[in-house]
Each structure stands twice: as structure tokens, then as C-alpha cells.
Amino acid sequence: MTTTATAPSPYRVTPRHVLRSEWHKLRSLRSTWITLLSAAALVLGVGLIMGTTYTPGGGDADIDTVVLVLYGTVLGQLCVSVLGILVTAGEYSTGMIRASLTVVPRRLPVLWAKAAVFAATAFLTMYATALVTFLAAQLFLHDTEQAAALTDPGILGALAGNAAGITLLSLIALGLGATLRSVPGAVGAYFGGILILPEVLGMLPYDAVDSALKYFPTQAAGALGSATPIPGAAGTVPALLALCLWAAASLGAAAVLLRRRDA
């Protein structure tokens, strides 16, 4: 008796196939490119404004060069974070998540693939934006005290840190979207908990609160995007570790609820 070897099915659920599926979904949505282009345009536009309106010897002379030219990061970060929420909560609002979880019944690979594809896309987009913005702004700053080159100490690291900060903040938003399963709810939770709450806590007259606030998401992200240490801020490594832990906690909560709740 002979046995016939059966070729593996090309339609098996594998990590590579799940990643390809999530990448196809992300790039096929018009909102993805509108949001990313809006984020890039805001960062670049504000950077050019800062470069063209800079006055040598003025009040901005002591600001870190990367922080100065990437001041629009605050606006760009909001766009990318909202996109992170749409990546997960948007599927629940349209009902598409049921199809995804039917094809991948183990569920968690869908979440990890969404996070990986989105993080790679967000980081590459914002890093490229940071590079272009820095170089464009330096065309107007080359004869001022804010003149700098990519080869100067800390510059490339700060540009990468800026992109990493935006990416990790948006992963927190992605986790909130998967946890709350509601776009308005996740947007409200992100704005209230990530952006507004630290400002409210900062008004409390306690040293312990001030020390803890350095490791809150937005404050830690800000420390990553500076070529020189920011007085009173966390160091680069502690800030990056804190931000990674915040993102892991958000995604971890989403993973637990994804296993326990119906789609």
C-alpha cells in the first residue's frame, strides 16, 4: 500500500498569512492614508513655520533643535493615535471583526498582527516625516544657533525617538480601541486619560506626583524626542521603558478581554 503525500494547504492560518491580511486591510482603507498624510503634513508644516519664523537670539535660543523643528509632533501624534483606535474599534463598529475572528479562531494572533503592522507603518511614516522636516527646517536655520546636522551627536537618535514615541502612544490608543470596542469611547478615554489627566495631576502640590508624572505616556514620549536631556524629564532609557510598559499594559488588557468576550 502506498500513501500519497498531501501538500500543505496555501490557505492555512499562519502568522505570515495573518500579517498579510492585516496589512491588506490597513492599506486598503482610505482613512489610513488620509490620517497618516495629515499627520505628516502637520509635522512638516509646523516645522517649516518654526524654521522660517525663527529669530536668532530670541526666546527660543535655548530650546533643543529637534524639539523646535518637530513642535508639530503634538498634532501629528493625535492623528496617528486616532488611526490606532480606528484600526481596532473601527472593525467592531463595522462588524468586520467577526469575519477576522472566524478565520482566526485563536483570536490573539489577530490583535498581535494588527499591532505589529500598525506599529511598523506608523514608525516608518513618522520617522521619514521627522527626517524630512528636520532637513527642511535646517534650510532656514543654517546660519543661526539652532543650526544642526544629522551627523551631530544625538540628532538621529532624537528623530528616531520622536517616531518611537508617537508609535508607542498610538499603540496605547490601539489597545484602548480593542478594549472598549467603541471609537467615541476610546477617543474619549485616550484624550481624558492620556492627555488631560496628567495635566490635572500636575497641579497637585506633591513631589511624589511630579516624580511619577515623568513616566506618564505623553511626558515619557516627549523625553525621547530631544537630542539633549530635558531638565526635570526622565532619561531616554527609563522613558522608553515606561512607554513600552504602558503600551504593553494597554495591549495586554485588550488581549485578556478578547479571549473572554464574544466579538
Range of the domain at 66: 15-260
Per-residue pLDDT, averaged over 7-21, amounts to: 69
In a domain, 3, yes or no: no
Q: Please give the tally of structural domains in the chain.
A: 1
In a domain, 132, yes or no: yes
Which pLDDT value is given to residue 11? 54
In a domain, 8, yes or no: no
Task: Tell me the residue type at 88.
Answer: T
In a domain, 193, yes or no: yes
In a domain, 109, yes or no: yes
- What is the Cβ-side half-sphere exposure of residue 233, based on CA atoms within 13 angstroms? 20
| pLDDT (tens digit per residue) in 69-128 | 999 999 999 999 999 999 999 888 887 777 777 777 678 888 999 999 999 999 999 999
**Is the confidence at residue 12, as pLDDT, over 80?**
no
| pLDDT (tens digit per residue) in 166-223 | 999 999 999 999 999 999 999 999 999 999 998 898 888 888 888 889 999 999 999 9
